[in-house]
Structure 1
Amino acid sequence: MEVKLHDIGEGMTEAEVNCFLVKPGDIVKADDPLLEVQTDKMTAEIPSPRAGIIREFTVKPGETVSVGSTLLLLDDLAAEKKTNQPKRIIASPFTRKIARENGIDIHKIDGSGPAGRITDEDIYQYMTAASLKKNEQTTKDTVYIPVSVHQPPQTKDTIPFRGRRKQIAKKMVQSIYTIPHCTHFEEIDVTHLLQFCSELKKVNQPISITAFFLKALSISLKEFPIFNAVLDEENEVIQLQKEHHIGIAVDTEEGLIVPVLRHIEEKSIRVIHTEMKQLTNKALNNQLSITDISGGTFTISNVGPLGGSIGATPIIQYPEVALVSFHKHKKMPVVTDDDQIIIRSIMNLSMSFDHRVADGATAVRFTNRFAMLIQDPKLLLLEMV
C-alpha cells in the first residue's frame, strides 16, 4: 500500500519531510505516526492509514514533496511471517523527538514503562551512559599529534536552511512581493495601564499588558474594519471581516510561529489573557494544531520583552492587511501642554499595512484610537460595557 501526503489544512500544496518516526520492518497500528513534515505554518505528523509493516520510504529527510506524492510503502501484516516481526517500539511523540534531537537510535533503548514503553527518563539515562562510555574510551585511546602551523583555519559554518525556517522564508517573500508595505510609527503612553496592571497583580489578579493591547485593537478594528480585511483582486472587492481572529507571533527555537486567538471581539480581557498564555505554551512546546494557526485576520508582534525599543518594519502575514508590532516601553521626560516636564512610560508602536487597501491617514486615525484606549484604561473599560 502507498501512503501519500494529504492536505493537512488550509489548502497546502507541499511540505518538507523533517524526519522518519519509524524504520523499515517496524510494525505499526492505524493512526501511529510514521513521519514528520513541515508546512509553511506548522510541524505535523503523518499517521498510518491502517495496521501494517513498513516496507520502505520513497522520500528523504529535507525533501520537499507535493500533496499526493507517495511517502512510503506499507505491507499488510497478514502477509508477513510472525518469525520476522521486529521489536515494537512504544514511545510518545515527544519522547521520540528527544531521541531524534540528540541523535539517539530509539530502537536500541529498553523501555522501563508499562508494556515496555520508552520514557523520557530512559532516553536521558541512555545518553548519560553513552557519554560516560565515550569519555572513558577517549581517555584510553587519546594520542597527541602536533598540528602543522600551515593548516588552513576553518572559516565557514553552515546551518540547515529547511523546515520551518525555509517555509517562513517562502511566506515572507510571497508577502513582500505581493503587498506594497507601508509602515507607520507611533508613541503610546502606557503609564496608566502599567499602573493598573500593577494594582491587579497586588490583588492576585494578574493580567498581561498584551491582553489589554489585544482588546484595544479589537475595539479599534470595529471602528476601522479596513484593517481587518482581505483584498480579493480577482473579484475586485475588499472583504471586511467581522470576526477578529488575531495572530500572536511567538519566537520558538524552531522559528517564528503565529497561533491565532479567535473571536477577540466577544471575549473579556481576562479570557483573552488566559487563552493567550495557553496558545503561547502550546507554540513553545510544538503542540499547535492546524486550527490553532489558521484563519487569522490581523497579527501582532510583541518584541518588547526582547528589548526592542525603537521600531521595526514588520512584514504582513499574507493575505492579511495589517500587522502591529509593540516595542519595549521606557521612562522618558515628557513636556505637558502647560510646559511642565513629567516622567512617563512610553512605548513605540510600528504598524505595517497594505497600501493597496488603506492609506496613511487611516492608519494614523486607527493608531490614535488605539492610543486613546491604552493611555486611559477607563475608556477601554467603558467600551466593553
Structure 2
Amino acid sequence: MAKEIKVPQIGDGVESATVSEVLVAEGDKIEKDQSVIAVESDKASVEVPSSAAGTIKEIKISEGDEVEVGQVIILLEESDDDDDDETEEDNGEASEEEKEKENTSEEENENEDEDSGEKQSGKKKKKIKEENPEDNDEEPEEDDADENKDEKKSSKKDESEADKTSEEKENKKSGESSGESSTGAGIQASPGTRRLARELGVDLTELAEEISGRVSEKDVKEFAKKDSQKSTRSASISLPDFEKWGSVERKPLNNIRKATAKNVTASWQSVPHVFQFDEADITDIQQYLEVNQDKAEKAGGKLTITALLTKIVASALVRFPKFNASIDMENEEMILKNYVNIGIAVATEKGLLVPVIKDADKKSIIEIATELTNIAEKARDGKLSKEDMEGANFSISNLGGIGGTNFTPIVPAFQVAILGISRSAKKPVYIDDEFKPREILPLSLSYDHRLIDGADGAAFINWITQALEDPYKALLGA
C-alpha cells in the first residue's frame, strides 16, 4: 500500500510555500528523514524531509508549484524492511498464541515426559508438519536458527551497502531533480552545501570543473566571490530583437561605464542594503559657509556643503568606527581601519568617478575645500591617477546641484556605508510657538546590514544631522 508524504508545518504562521527544487526522482529509494523537496516562503527557505523510508512511486508536485501544509507531495512504496517488521510482529503474536496452547497441553498431559523442552520441541515439529503437509522431512530447530542468522547477515549487508551508497543517491537525486541545473548531477556535496549553492546562485556543475573531489561550503563561497567579481548577472540576460519595433543604434560602453556597471552589480548582489533617511536644518550653517568663503577662495578652493559634510563625516567615522570598516566574510572578520579616507562622487561626461580625500579627519575644512576643488577639476579633465581613486573607507554622493528629494545610493565595494545628499529646500518649521522658514537638507544613508544594525545607522545619521545644525560640534569633535 502506498504511503503519502505530506508537507509538514514549515514555520510559525506559514501555511503555504513555493517549491524551489525537487531533490528526488520517481523510482528512487529513500531513507526516513531524507530531504525530498526544498521550499521557500516569505519567512523561510527549508528542505522537507520524508516521514518514511521506501521507493518513490509518484511525485505529485514540480518546481514552481505552490504547496500548502498537509498537501500530499509524494506517494511512497514502503520498503521491504517495513514489511518484514510487520511480519515479525505478526509472527510474534502467533508465537504468543502457540505458547498459550502449549501451556494448556502441558497441564492436560502431566503424566507425560516432564522435560518441558522436549515437549515443546515435539509439539513445534508436529505443528510445522501440520502447517506444511507437503514437507515430508522434519527439519531440526538448528536449521530455523541458521536461517534466521542468514537473514540477519543478509539484512546487515543490505544496510551496509545502503549506507555506502546513500550519499551517492542523495547527490544523484539532487542532480536528477534539476537536470543540468545549479545543483549539479552526480557531484559530491552535502545537502547543506547544495542549499548554500542555491542561496548564492552558484552552479555546482561549473564549480566541479575547477576542483576535484567533494565540494565543500568553503568552495562554494570562494566560487561565489570570484563569480561576482568577474561577471554580472545582466550579462546572462537574453535581449529581445529591438529592431522589430524600429531602428536602433549601438554604442560601446566606455571603460568608466564598464567598471561602474561591474562594481555596482557586485555590490548590489553581495550587500544586504538598509536605507536610512533624515533631514537637517542647515539655515545657520549656510551663514557659516558665506562668512568663511573668502578664506577658502584665498586658499584656492570653494567652501561648499560637501566640503563641510566631508569634515563632519570624518569626525563621525572616528566616533562610529564600524562605519569606517570593511567586512571579510571569508574569514568572518571585521576590518577596522585606523585612518579616515572619504570618497567623493564626481559626475563627469564619461561617467561617475570617485576621487578620495585621504586622512580627512586630520585636515581642516579649508584644506578639504581646496583639495575637493582640485580633484573635481582633475576628474572632469580626465587627469585623475589610480592613486587618487584608491583607499576610500566611506563615500559621499551629492546630487543637490542636480535636484531630487531623496535617493538610495549603492554601497561601494569593500565599504559598508555611503551618504547621499539631495537638494535642500525652504520648509516651515515650528520654532518658539510659530512657524519659521528654514533651509532643510535631505540625507540618505545606505549601509551593509551584515555589519551595521538599524540602531547603529540611526545613531550615525542622527549625529551627522546634529553636527550640521551645530557646526562647532564637528569642529570640536564633540
Structure 1 residue 223 corresponds to structure 2 residue 319: yes
Aligned to 1:211: 307
Indicate the structure (1 or 2) with the bigger Cα radius of gyration: 2
List aligned pairs for 1:277-288, cutoff 5 A: 277-288=373-384
CA separation in 2, counterparts of 1:236 and 1:272?
35
What is the deviation of 1:383?
Answer: 2.5
List aligned pairs for 1:112-127, cutoff 5 A: none
SS at match of 1:227: helix
Aligned to 1:376: 470
Structure 1 unaligned segments of length 5 or more: list them: 1-65, 67-151
CA separation in 1, counterparts of 2:274 and 2:475?
31
CA separation in 2, counterparts of 1:234 and 1:331?
47
Aligned to 1:314: 409
SS at match of 2:256: helix
CA separation in 1, counterparts of 2:367 and 2:293?
16
Aligned pairs, how many? 232
Bigger helix fraction: 2
Amino acid corresponding to residue 246 of structure 1 in structure 2: I
CA separation in 2, counterparts of 1:201 and 1:165?
35
Cα-to-partner distance string for 1:119-139 (whole Å, 9 max, x where unaligned): xxxxxxxxxxxxxxxxxxxxx
SS at match of 1:251: strand
What is the deviation of 1:160?
Answer: 2.1
CA separation in 1, counterparts of 2:373 and 2:293?
16
Q: Greater RCO between the two (CA within 8 Å, min separation 6)?
A: 1
Identity over aligned pairs, percent: 37
- Report the TM-score when normalising by structure 1: 0.57
Which one of 285, 290, 303 corresponds to residue 193 of structure 1? 285
CA separation in 2, counterparts of 1:216 and 1:180?
26
What is the deviation of 1:288?
Answer: 0.9
Bigger strand fraction: 1
Instruction: Give me the CA root mean square deviation.
Output: 2.0
CA separation in 2, counterparts of 1:222 and 1:358?
15
List aligned pairs for 1:87-126, cutoff 5 A: none
CA separation in 1, counterparts of 2:406 and 2:254?
29
List aligned pairs for 1:32-43, cutoff 5 A: none
Cα-to-partner distance string for 1:177-198 (whole Å, 9 max, x where unaligned): 0100111011111111111111
Structure 1 residue 243 corresponds to structure 2 residue 335: no
Aligned to 1:36: none
Cα-to-partner distance string for 1:55-82 (whole Å, 9 max, x where unaligned): xxxxxxxxxxx9xxxxxxxxxxxxxxxx
Structure 1 residue 300 corresponds to structure 2 residue 396: yes
Aligned to 2:329: 233
CA separation in 1, counterparts of 2:318 and 2:311?
11
Aligned to 1:328: 423
CA separation in 2, counterparts of 1:304 and 1:269?
20
CA separation in 1, counterparts of 2:290 and 2:317?
27
Structure 1 residue 168 corresponds to structure 2 residue 260: yes
Cα-to-partner distance string for 1:211-249 (whole Å, 9 max, x where unaligned): 110110011111111111010112211111121110001
What is the deviation of 1:163?
Answer: 2.0
Structure 1 residue 291 corresponds to structure 2 residue 387: yes
SS at match of 2:415: coil
Structure 2 unaligned segments of length 5 or more: list them: 1-229, 231-243
Structure 1 residue 257 corresponds to structure 2 residue 360: no
Structure 1 residue 360 corresponds to structure 2 residue 454: yes
CA separation in 2, counterparts of 1:346 and 1:177?
33
Structure 1 residue 340 corresponds to structure 2 residue 449: no
Amino acid corresponding to residue 426 of structure 2 in structure 1: K
What is the deviation of 1:169?
Answer: 0.5
Aligned to 2:73: none
CA separation in 2, counterparts of 1:201 and 1:233?
45
What is the deviation of 1:162?
Answer: 4.2
What is the deviation of 1:157?
Answer: 3.4
CA separation in 1, counterparts of 2:330 and 2:362?
32
What is the deviation of 1:159?
Answer: 3.0
SS at match of 1:341: strand
Structure 1 residue 276 corresponds to structure 2 residue 372: yes
SS at match of 2:422: strand
Q: Is the contact made by 2:282 and 2:439 (CA closer than 8 Å) also made in structure 1?
A: yes
Amino acid corresponding to residue 282 of structure 1 in structure 2: K
CA separation in 1, counterparts of 2:391 and 2:472?
31
What is the deviation of 1:379?
Answer: 2.4
What is the deviation of 1:269?
Answer: 0.6
Cα-to-partner distance string for 1:68-103 (whole Å, 9 max, x where unaligned): xxxxxxxxxxxxxxxxxxxxxxxxxxxxxxxxxxxx
CA separation in 1, counterparts of 2:318 and 2:473?
15
Q: Is the contact made by 2:272 and 2:449 (CA closer than 8 Å) also made in structure 1?
A: yes
CA separation in 2, counterparts of 1:268 and 1:348?
25
Gap change, CA 1:201 and 1:270, over 3 Å in 2: closer
- Report the TM-score when normalising by structure 2: 0.47
Q: Is the contact made by 2:278 and 2:442 (CA closer than 8 Å) also made in structure 1?
A: yes
Q: Is the contact made by 2:254 and 2:350 (CA closer than 8 Å) also made in structure 1?
A: no
Divergent runs of 4+, >4 A: 202-206
What is the deviation of 1:154?
Answer: 5.4
Cα-to-partner distance string for 1:138-159 (whole Å, 9 max, x where unaligned): xxxxxxxxxxxxxx99542333
Q: Is the contact made by 2:328 and 2:335 (CA closer than 8 Å) also made in structure 1?
A: yes
Gap change, CA 1:270 and 1:222, over 3 Å in 2: same
SS at match of 1:184: strand
Cα-to-partner distance string for 1:10-59 (whole Å, 9 max, x where unaligned): xxxxxxxxxxxxxxxxxxxxxxxxxxxxxxxxxxxxxxxxxxxxxxxxxx
Aligned to 2:223: none
SS at match of 1:193: helix
What is the deviation of 1:381?
Answer: 2.8
